[in-house]
Amino acid sequence: MDYIQPITVLSEEEAMFKDAVADFAREQIAPHVMEMDQKAQFKKEILDQFFELGLMGVEVPEEYGGVGGSFFMSILAIEALAQVDASAAIYVDVQNTLVNNAFLRWGNQEIKKKCLPQLAQEKIGAYALSEPGSGSDAFGLKARAVEKGDHFVLNGTKLWITNAAEADIFIIFANANPELGYKGITAFIVERGFPGFSVGKKEDKLGIRASSTCELILQDCIVPKENVLGETGKGYKVAIETLNEGRIGIGAQMIGVMEGSLQAGMQYARERQQFGQPIAKFQGVQFQIAEAAIQLEASRTLVYNAARLKDAGKDYLKEAAMAKWFSSVNAEKVTSRMIEIFGGNGYTKEFPVEKFYRDAKIGQIYEGTSNMQLATIAKYLLFK
């Protein structure tokens, strides 16, 4: 039987790309991580570098100003950045797995020509589905869109919108035909500066603090008809398909957080002396490190497998949900265990593991809670 290459083995090109992003993260982002976390503000200079390096348009074709890479490459970039700072990874994640992918899949030629070069080279995008009363019940949204001549008028509030403080281009979901239920939901392209649109309160969060999360306010917001993404009433399909890809991105964030935390824990275990020797010599510590490494590698395999399936054009819905669920649950376990290895030091902000722990928790919440992932997996297995 022919040898089957493990899913986690990278090609030479993929390995070089991931290493380059990791080097950039260590050299250019790491020195600013704690300051950005404390101030809850991401440095614009680093965002500018993301564009210069092509990280904001990994999968965007070269004809639109992007890198023309694979979805898997964007996953590698997200993972590498999250090893240093999950907030940094989120900017790249949302831009690539949600916003760019929605335009690539659903945008007509005119929209692609207008928006993709901007997103790949200079403008941050945001994806606005959630509302105050619409979270896991994503299609229970209350935002409304009323057709008036050559435009729509949008009213409503969006909540928990990642990248909103810096974004210039927003994909906003509103219901244009409420009587049709979820089949009335439509995706609209709203640009900062449109009449009736504003960015509201910025959330003060437990983790991923340097990543902006804000509310959006729509008060008689005027959106031209040509800014409908896809077709009127097809917004639910836009949401479902992009979120399937987004789940893999969250998985990549979580394996990056696990890796960064584990590396910090191993280094500390080698250096910390107790009873006349490094604590890495004690079997109890060794077992904790070994279990964390197993959880990381299993999570990485699930995430990489889902990304490879997506690039191959295969069905990956179940695998994406599994990857997100498993990696986010284990990210919390691994980062918690690393705090214990640091002992009292791990509970202080002087050492990095407490931040990895705070950053890990969001993985079980956004882009579909852990319970919603389990529901997706079960329905696929039982009723597909």
CA neighbor of 72 nearest in space, from 18, 131, 120: 18
DSSP state of 288: H
E-strand stretches of the chain: 125-128, 144-148, 151-162, 169-175, 185-191, 197-202, 213-224, 228-229, 273-274, 277-278
Residue whose entry in the numeric block shows the structure tokens 């760019």: 100
CA neighbor of 264 nearest in space, from 328, 330, 206, 346: 346
Is 45 a known active-site residue?
no
Beta pairing class for 213-224 and 228-229? unpaired
**3-state secondary structure labels for all residues of 319-339:** HHHHHHHHHHHHHHHHHHHHH
Q: How far is CA 350 from the centre of its chain?
A: 27
Residues 6 or more apart whose CB falls under 8 angstroms from that of 357 comprise 207, 261, 332, 335, 336, 338, 339
Helix axes of 71-82 and 283-311: crossing angle, nearest 10 degrees: 150
Beta bridge partners of 199: 216
Q: Which of 166, 319, 332, 367 is catalytic?
A: 367
CA dist 180 and 183 (Å) reads 5
| Catalytic residue set | 367
